[in-house]
Amino acid sequence: QKEVEQNSGPLSVPEGAIASLNCTYSDRGSQSFFWYRQYSGKSPELIMFIYSNGDKEDGRFTAQLNKASQYVSLLIRDSQPSDSATYLCAVNSGYSTLTFGKGTMLLVSP
């Protein structure tokens, strides 16, 4: 059974701070990793993906991957109240499907 673990939160950060969201996965064969953002009552939307060890930056977002530790994280710099949402980590293990974590709720206070 492939598992993806996330702290459910909520993670509360003040506006302008760095938010750090973490995810661990059980399948060592996992090849690519996705971060989705889901606003309340809405569908998930992709923020970014990563498949190589190290960091990948896209604007205020940085994804970090450490395959040896089976760990992936998402950093959000200069957090804004509009970043308040649930962030879902998803893992592609080389088949046609993704395994999702339960998500971490992020609250950014003005």
Applying CB under 8 A, the residues found at the interface with other proteins are: 4, 8, 31-32, 34, 42-46, 49, 51, 88, 90, 92, 94-98, 100-103
| Nearest distance from C-beta of residue 6 to other proteins, angstroms | 8
| Nearest distance from C-beta of residue 16 to other proteins, angstroms | 28
The torsion of the CA quartet 29, 51, 79, 107, rounded to 10 degrees, works out to -20
Query: What is the per-residue burial (b if ≥16 Cβ within 10 Å, else e) of 55-64?
Result: eeeeeebbbb
Report the residue number, 41 or 110, with the smaller CB distance to other proteins: 41
| Nearest distance from C-beta of residue 97 to other proteins, angstroms | 6
Report the residue number, 72 or 90, with the smaller CB distance to other proteins: 90
Report the residue number, 21 or 90, with the smaller CB distance to other proteins: 90
SS3 labels along 42-109: CCCEEEEEECCCEEEEECCEEEEEECCCCEEEEEECCCCHHHCEEEEEEEECCCCCEEECCCEEEEEE
Report the residue number, 74 or 90, with the smaller CB distance to other proteins: 90
